[in-house]
Amino acid sequence: MKTRPSPIGDGVLLIDKPEGISSAAAVATVKRTLGGAKVGHLGTLDPFASGLLPMCIGEATKAAPYLNVSDKRYLGVVRLGVESDTLDTTGTLRPGSEVPRLDEPSLENLSERFRGEIEQVPPAFSAIKKNGVPMYKLARSGREVTLNPRPVVVHDLRLRVIDDEHIGLDVTCSKGTYVRSLARDIGGELGCGGCLERLRRTAFGPFRLEDAAPLDALPDALADGSLQKAVIVLDRALGGMPAFEIDRATAAELRLGRQTALRRLPSPASADPGVRAKVLAEGDLVAVLAPTRVGWKLERIFAPPVR
């Protein structure tokens, strides 16, 4: 099926996903609201979780690899004294052990153990693939699932007492961190077991929840023009990249894949394969470049916006 131009243009649309629906269902809702435009989400949110779900619209889908490496911030609630096969309260629950007495100093000490680079075992019920099969499918079939620990980074973690069986969680972490696993491990450190009861994502790299549009309000927001406030244009979305400004004629050459136009640009200061630069023409994103030993090469080309 041919995709149609987006009525809000190309860019990153910030959505506040409610609890109870999958990220794929949220994409379908956005796609339907935008009349069949090309849509893809960044950073899956579990169905039971809510909060910030950035959506790449139109040409912005080509930028997803550069945007989906960002740190994220979550607010959550950990339920103690209970364990779960899914590591959250949507799974099969079983009793843990008695919950110890909690206070703020002990929780600060506990938080400190999880800050920095840590090894984390992902949930068995996850989209990680083994021999091409998502782990959650193996887990649901009753097969035993073994996952190896993976390094992740917890930039900051704050815990607070809610009541005798619940603690609040505020975490900023790297891509690939499972907050469900963090809840399990916190319960393990306390010796009573634990699982995640609630989760809300509040930040994704430079994007913030307060700038997002509620998913159920999309049709009205589109109709009254306010949805545009939740769209981040590609230049801003890739704000951390070094930028080169070119004229329209050079932009046309690059969009035809003519690499010779890149010779006019300054050589990259580093040949680090992780470095990228963006090329702009009068504010419009033209291309993303990767460094080589002799200069830049085209990695992604973006069509001019429809005006």
- State the catalytic residues: 46
Which residue type is seen at 226?
A: S
Dist CA 304 CA 284 (whole Å): 7
* Helical spans, DSSP H, in 86-156: 104-114, 135-140
Question: The tokens of 186 are what?
Answer: 């916190």
For tokens 């603690």, what's the residue?
167
HSE-up (13 A, CA, CB side) for residue 213: 25
For tokens 């690059």, what's the residue?
254
The angle formed by the CA atoms of residues 3, 201 and 14, to the nearest 5 degrees, is 30
Handedness of CA 236, 241, 245, 249 (dihedral sign): negative
The angle formed by the CA atoms of residues 45, 50 and 51, to the nearest 5 degrees, is 90
Do the bridges between strand 72-80 and strand 166-173 make them parallel or antiparallel, or are there none, so unpaired? Answer: antiparallel
Express the helix, strand and coil content of the chain in percent, nearest 5 each: 30, 35, 40
SS3 for 25? helix
